[in-house]
Structure 1
Amino acid sequence: MVPVDDTALAVTDTGGSGTPVVYLNGSYSTQKAWRQVIADLGPDFRHITYDERARGKSKRSADYSFDAVIRDLDVVLRTRGVDRPLLVGWSYGALLGVLWAARHPDRVAGVVGVDGPFPMGWTEEADLERVRKLFRRLRFVLPLAVPFGLAARMSAAQHAEIQVESHALHAALGPTLGGLTVPVRYVIAQGDHTGDAGGEMDQARASLDPLLVRNPNLQVSARVASNHEKILAKDSPAVAGAVRELAAAVGREVG
């Protein structure tokens, strides 16, 4: 366990001299989500995974803000002695990888974004209240979903505020992606997110297209048939391929 602020994070590090890859989880998922990707990449890479606050085996906290998530990544990298890793993030983790890289371009070799991040998010209060209402309805179900990596050990209101903050960060992401100086490889799903209404995921994915033209550091490594939730399970080879492609592009190929 790695202590940080008022909590402690469960961290797994395979060690070795290979290219370090740090995996960043979805909003409520755990490090278990990366098992197939890690198996596909094999021992030529050093794999570092961890559970965020109140997820998996990590401890609860009084702070689940995105700033706390940034601090957690800082601490994991420092305590594991990792220099310029590849950051591989899915969904919320992809947002974390890009924003951390924008803040620390000299401390990261590159980012693989798995179905994210996209420069689109809800900012209208009616949409945000819809998020809060959904989690209020799910408040009795959330504890049952924790063992499956579909919820965290926190209140329904805390779950909702993570999503509200995430939408605000995505909505403001365009300038950050447009000015990013580190290489990013996207693996983009084609299917809808569960609960997607009116093709929202298609719109979010399409919002990336103008930035791909403007910033050559942003490239799509693969488009796959699975949906947002199943991409790591069904298309892990494509994610592993993007990691290898990025490692080669930055001159850190080891296998």
Structure 2
Amino acid sequence: MTKNSASRTPSAWTGMIPVDDTALAVTDTGGSGTPVIYLNGQFATQSYWRHLTAELGPEWRHITYDERARGKKSKLSADYSFEAAVRDVDAVLAARGVERAVVVGWSYGAFVGAHWASRNPDRTIGAVLVDGAQPFDWLDEAMEVRIRKLFRRIGWFAPLLRPTGLVPRMSAEQQAESNIELGRIARESELGPVLDRISVPTRYVLASGSSFGSRGDEQERIRAGLDAVVARNPKIRISAKVSSNHGAILRKDFPAIAAAVREVAADR
């Protein structure tokens, strides 16, 4: 990028960004505001952020994208691993010419955001992690079996919904493997050190109650895993615990998430 082009206010842009063996559907609102990149839930799309981006308004530069094989346009890939998801953050920011950004992630995207912020402190203005990236050893052999059964059970009707972009264009086995991999990444021994290394302002916004596929108080016990993290790392705080459940938090409690975004941006 030349000096003259760098000084121009970025224009709004929507298109495809090539990365590895695939391409991602990206939306960039442009403008001169602080860039915010939004990292989706495991099988969600960029449309989930519409309430939050509207709440924050045009004074921010909003960058959203659909992960590999998600949404209507992002292409298939041979690699749906967590590390690929982290690399894609770099690819999107580089393609849009963004050197530093606030990272906002929900659910799976919170794990991606935590890893990216931990690895890139000079490029992260701050991080907001929404009901995800809580260290807890929830994966065992019985849970693996349960996950595989769940995705096989819902796999029969997924092809009917794929043209709408509401479900990923991944097989039931690929979706199960992605979820199981996340369980390994969430272990205290794996995620704890990642969170301990975060050196930028980071805020959690937590939901309440259960999530899809969880039982009883499983989700609340997972959230409690953050207590030790906050005690160890002064850069990490819990900004809010809201009444919405995991699936509804972006739709119903976006003002609390917007407040956390403003907080980390002000705490540079």
Q: TM-score range by the shorter chain?
A: over 0.9
TM-score (norm 1): 0.94
Q: Which residue of 1 aligns with 2:223?
A: 205
**Is it true that 1:101 corresponds to 2:117 in the alignment?**
yes
Residues 144/227 of structure 1: CA separation in 2 closer, same or farther (3 Å cut) = farther
Q: Tell me which of the two structures has the higher relative contact order, counting C-alpha pairs closer than 8 angstroms and 6 or more residues apart.
A: 1
Which residues of structure 1 form unaligned runs of 5+? 251-255
CA deviations on 1:134-155 (whole Å, 9 max, x unpaired) are 1112211223444676531110
TM-score (norm 2): 0.90
Which residues of structure 2 form unaligned runs of 5+? 1-15
Q: Which residue of 1 aligns with 2:83?
A: 67
Please report how far the alpha carbon of residue 87 of structure 1 lies from its aligned counterpart in structure 2 after TM superposition.
0.3
Q: Kindly report which structure 2 residues correspond to 1:1-255, keeping only aligned pairs within 5 A, or say none.
A: 1-56=16-71, 57-146=73-162, 151-171=167-187, 172-250=190-268
CA–CA separation in structure 1 for the residues paired with 2:203 and 2:166: 26
| Letter matched to residue 8 of structure 1 | A
Please report how far the alpha carbon of residue 181 of structure 1 lies from its aligned counterpart in structure 2 after TM superposition.
1.2
RMSD (Å) for aligned C-alpha atoms: 1.4
CA–CA separation in structure 1 for the residues paired with 2:198 and 2:163: 36
Contact 2:209 2:217 in 1 (8 A): no
CA deviations on 1:218-251 (whole Å, 9 max, x unpaired) are 101111000000000000111111111111111x
Identity of aligned residues (%): 58
| Letter matched to residue 223 of structure 2 | R
Q: Secondary structure at the match of 1:59?
A: coil
CA–CA separation in structure 2 for the residues paired with 1:188 and 1:233: 14
Q: Which residue of 2 aligns with 1:253?
A: none
CA–CA separation in structure 2 for the residues paired with 1:169 and 1:133: 21
Contact 1:114 1:239 in 2 (8 A): yes
How many residues of Structure 1 are paired with residues of Structure 2 in the alignment?
A: 250
CA–CA separation in structure 1 for the residues paired with 2:176 and 2:137: 14
CA–CA separation in structure 1 for the residues paired with 2:237 and 2:231: 9
CA–CA separation in structure 1 for the residues paired with 2:20 and 2:32: 30
